Structure 1
Amino acid sequence: MSAISPCARWNIVGTTIAGTGTAGNGSNQLDYPEGLFIHKPTNTLYVVDSFNSRIQSFLLDQSSNISTIVIPNLRYPSRIYVDDGENVSTIYATDSYPLYCGVQWVVGAPSGVSLGDKFSSCRGISIDKEKSVFLTDWLLDILIKESPGMNDSIVIAGKPKECNSTSKHFCGPNGIFVDQTSGAVYVADTWNNRIQKWLKNAQEGITVAGSSNGSYGHDAASLYSPQDVFVDIDTSVLYIADGYNGRIQR
């Protein structure tokens, strides 16, 4: 069962658990943190420290907020996913380079493996139960899949360089969530102001939040530049980072 009740109400007063409130590159500082992932088995918070070009980790059960750099020397990381292997965790992160747009990095390894070759503007990243990697290319308006052992990425949704609001298109696809049971992929279709659900092997998406025609709004049924999406599979509840509306929608 999910630990989050669909009737939950969030405490609007937050507590700082990472960073100091002032941008910097010290071991206890962050500079424009853009993505995060909580690894429950080790109670570790992983943070995409974008302007410092690194991935930081913070132990949630200690009083200090001193971090460990787990991936250094990236270019401009933005999203992250952490997966458990048999003995060690693997980090998947988007990055922006001319010839690839993501990295796969085993925790503790001296270097990683590039993902999304030939693409350069990925914003969302996740994996499915078969360890295939899914990436969204923000500028090409597509969803990419890279299967284990393959040396190339394939486009599985969207039309390259066709920003459009039809059910077969994206316009600025951003954060994603993969349902590990069904294989469905949820995409924050940012400039279409909606969340699209793509069933496995589908030819078009289904609008599950926001407007199907791409229009934005400020009411409870609308979105305005959604940035990311998380799905509580146990309750089928979506949590959406509704960018220009400055809120988290459920």
Structure 2
Amino acid sequence: MTTSQPPVIHDDCICESATWNQNGVTVAGWNGRGSSLNQLDEPLGLFVDEDAAVYVAGTLNFRVVKWASGASSDQVIAGGNGEGNQNNQMKYATKIIIDKNGTIFICDHMNMRVQRWFKNDDHGQTIIENISCWGLTLDKEKLLYVSDWKKRRITKRPSEQITAGGNGQGSALNQLFYPCDVFLDQDQSIFVADDGNQRIIK
């Protein structure tokens, strides 16, 4: 008599023996570059919610759009009022993250700010100024971790605590060189895409 072992499932709920399809399925865009509601233009920021809706920062469309699962066009949920620095505009948004309440946090890179848009609002609020933000994430306590591209560091907000880098530009293990994204795992360990050093550092 033989017995099969149950599959090993990790904290991320992905089975250890899981495999993925080798061919992808387009879920947003694919109608050429443009500004119509079924088009994207340099999509850099991406977020997927629990309902499989896809949120995209259309960098050169100066807006964040939502593509519901199976939709053929998007819905503008932030920006969409042209390039600019007003609270209903953005300029080169690079990263977005959305909390459980539907509040959107946006790295508005060329405006040197992080904006917060509450659900269904027609404008955002600048919550961090004078920062060369490229990536951001939220921890379990809804505190922001933001990559500061020019200052070569990751800071925790609103306390401004430096959590990675901050020791000048370099390749030492306590330094960063153009940190472009940040991620927190379930243990609150910080992973940084350290672009200038061609590495991912924990």
| In the alignment, structure 1 residue 90 sits paired with structure 2 residue 103 | yes
Superposition map of 1:102-181 within 5 A: 102-119=114-131, 121-147=132-158, 153-159=160-166, 162-179=168-185, 181=186
| In the alignment, structure 1 residue 18 sits paired with structure 2 residue 15 | no
Distance 2:12 2:144 in 1: 25
Counterpart in the other structure of 1:80: 96
Paired residue type of 1:5: C
Distance 2:178 2:170 in 1: 10
Distance 1:131 1:2 in 2: 19
Paired residue type of 2:67: F
Larger Rg: 2
Paired residue type of 1:145: K
- When the two structures are aligned, how many residues end up with a matched partner? 183
Cα offset, 1:20, TM superposition = 2.4
Counterpart in the other structure of 1:209: none
CA shift digits 1:36-81 (9 cap, x unpaired) = 11101x3311011111011010111x3x321100111211101111
Cα offset, 1:22, TM superposition = 0.6
Counterpart in the other structure of 2:41: 31
Contact 1:116 1:135 in 2 (8 A): no
Cα offset, 1:135, TM superposition = 0.6
Counterpart in the other structure of 2:72: 65
Q: Give 2:192's match in structure 1, choosing from 166, 187, 196.
A: 187
Contact 2:31 2:38 in 1 (8 A): no
| In the alignment, structure 1 residue 48 sits paired with structure 2 residue 61 | no
Cα offset, 1:3, TM superposition = 4.2
- Structure 2: 5+ residue runs without aligned partners? 1-10, 80-88
Q: CA RMSD in A?
A: 1.9
Paired residue type of 1:185: I
Distance 2:110 2:161 in 1: 18
1:2/1:183 CA distance change after superposition, 3 Å: closer
Among the aligned pairs, what percent are the same residue? Answer: 28
TM-score of the pair, normalised by structure 2: 0.82
TM-score of the pair, normalised by structure 1: 0.67
